[in-house]
Structure 1
């Protein structure tokens, strides 16, 4: 809960769109930002708001981390072609919510090194990243019913393309979230476990009782035709299932995975050159070697073997060829019935 004195400070961010105006409206979230090359400069985050009649509000976001591209592709595309007559209710589209990071092609902000997805509830008088988080916390999330936040692996992880929601104390909220995961129709669907949920956008939305859905669609700091296609089809399916967009859900086969506990994660205890012994989609047994790490400071040193902590399917892996101690090497999920 934000302290009372913080709640009394207005957000410095202003919208150039009217959230209540009918039709399709394109504009910006303007955050004043004084810098060396613009004393009275601003960060201009693109936003589209579509209003047509009564119905739920869907908030769609991408580039929470700036080096993840399937979300921005799907959302800039949707914003360029959506028609108000196809909408029942309201859609708020922010293709690149951490716009400074998106512009720099980095996970965190180049301005303050802030990780937006660990900055909630934010501060209206804090850093640039905290100000962005505060605006979503106090303005955009409260007016929303359904939230879809696109993620992928960025430059440091690679994932089986999946849509996900969290196990929640409120089982009705949980069921509605998983219904939308199912409608999204990614090749994989996940009951997701976070290793660090404090300060997350996900947590902020769920604590407000919102229906929250997220994705991990590939990685490596790029998007493929396959993963971008999953994102573009999935966002429309979700909006239709949520009752915000007219049409019929294009059903797609999906395999469900569960992340029951922290044994799903395998971390490096040594740094060096990584050789994977299991690929994405491979089935592994508990204790099976999944990677070897070579000490690259000299020749002749035997590599350190990294083992799976549980049996299951490799659903994520470290992406660059060099790892550091503490890096996540692999994630193993358990196949379940949806």
Structure 2
């Protein structure tokens, strides 16, 4: 396979704290020999595991970038045992545009793995992570939240895996992260995901959903910062003591957890995040917007449990995920 066109301006094996970029050549109308410059920090001290830390896999999700830019500005090499590789905005073009997908090629980075070194900009970024960064890592933390179209109860999550040793290590780190909620997560669209690429390599992979609506609150930002610190200490990469935090566990056991709109229109929810709903119970109504005088259509829960995610903002299209219900364990 062709080598990656991306080059790092830092040495991943150099001791100390190094700030730089992943430079991806990108010729365009306003810069014939231009580049996409993805900010990067590497911290190395002695021997120990490597943690690969990423945010803005989708560009309109902000808790991760805040926590990781903050860590990159404050971390000292003497606080680390091993190595941190910090990329606060892995899909940097999307991050700058405040969009889920890249404005350059409309690529969804979290559906582009394993990528291609001779593909689109998004595929080239995925390829570099697949072939260069993920092989270096022992632990991967990829921050997510709901972006502009979903809102979540703030949770940290890992997946049920065939390798139970790998699964147990991931859920141990979820517990250490200490979000208000912790989740055994079912993916409804796992093809091409960063998660899948990491897990198939045997990496311990942890992710989050920390809010949404295209913004970050003071509460969700604090959850991200403290959870990041706790996870790194529990993983043996950061020195210190894990700060105990209470968490409640959720499970998403099957596809009945997810409810999709069959019609478009104005959505009005009958339940808020954290409310208990019953299978078959209406959780929202969708009002057709083409004319007045038409009765709204009910959207019902597929299973009983807690409403852990809802569509955001108020207009939906057919096929949109409008509600997610999880079972409290």
Q: Same fold (TM over 0.5)?
A: yes
Alpha-carbon distance in structure 2 between the residues aligned to 1:303 and 1:168:
41
Question: 1:133 corresponds to which residue?
Answer: 126
Residue 249 (structure 1) shift? 0.3
Matched, 1:63 2:56: yes
- 1:176 offset after TM fit, Å? 0.2
Separation in structure 2 between the aligned mates of residue 119 and residue 194 of structure 1, nearest angstrom:
16
Q: Deviation of residue 12 (structure 1)?
A: 0.2
Give the equivalent residue in structure 2 for 1:34. Answer: 27
261, 268, 290: which is aligned to 2:283?
290
Distance 1:296 1:31 in 2: 44
Counterparts of residues 105-184 of structure 1 (less than 5 Å): 105-184=98-177
In the other structure, the counterpart of 2:44 is 51
Provide the rounded CA distance (Å) in 2 between the counterparts of 1:244 and 1:223. Answer: 26
In structure 1, the residue matched to 2:92 is: 99
Deviation at 1:139, TM superposition (A): 0.2
| Secondary structure of 1:247's aligned partner | coil
TM-score w.r.t. structure 1 length?
A: 0.97
SS in 2 for 1:141: helix
Q: Distance in 2 between matches of 1:296 and 1:125?
A: 45
Residue 213 (structure 1) shift: 0.1
Matching residue within 231, 238, 249 for 1:238: 231
User: Which residue in the other structure is 2:292 paired with?
Assistant: 299
1:272 Cα deviation from its structure 2 partner: 0.2
The structure 1 segments of at least 4 consecutive aligned residues displaced by more than 4 Å after TM superposition are none
* Alpha-carbon distance between aligned partners in 2 of 1:122 and 1:296, rounded to the nearest angstrom: 40
Question: Take 1:223 and 1:320, find their aligned partners in 2: how far apart are those partners?
Answer: 15
Cα distance in 2 for residues equivalent to 1:177 and 1:45: 27
SS at match of 2:166: helix
Q: Secondary structure of the residue that 1:274 maps to in structure 2? A: strand
What is the CA distance between 1:250 and its match in structure 2?
0.5
Superposition TM-score, scaled by structure 2 size: 1.00
1:269 matched residue in structure 2: 262
Q: Deviations over 1:15-43 (max 9, x none)?
A: 00000000000000000000000000000
Distance 2:254 2:125 in 1: 32
Look up the match of 1:4.
none
Distance 2:304 2:74 in 1: 44
CA shift, 1:148, in A, is: 0.0
Residue number in structure 1 paired with 2:325: 332
Q: Distance in 1 between matches of 2:59 and 2:293?
A: 40
- Aligned counterparts of 1:270 and 1:319: Cα–Cα separation in 2: 16
CA–CA distance in structure 2, aligned partners of residues 296 and 119 of structure 1? 35
Distance 2:292 2:87 in 1: 50
How far the C-alpha of 1:322 sits from its partner, in A, is 0.2
* Structure 1: stretches of 5+ with no match in the other structure: 1-7
Deviations 1:187-245 (A, max 9, x none): 00000000010000000000000000000000000000000000000100000000000
- Counterpart CA distance in 2 for 1:299 and 1:54 is 67
Q: Deviations over 1:161-198 (max 9, x none)?
A: 00000000000000000000000000000000000100
Q: Give the superposition deviation at 1:59.
A: 0.2
Q: Which residue of 2 aligns with 1:248?
A: 241
Q: CA deviation digits over 1:137-156, x for unaligned, max 9?
A: 00000000000000000000
Pairing 1:259–2:252 present = yes
C-alpha displacement at 1:44, in angstroms? Answer: 0.2
Q: What count of residue pairs does the alignment treat as equivalent?
A: 329
CA distance in 2, matches of 1:286, 1:198: 28
**RMSD after superposition:** 0.3
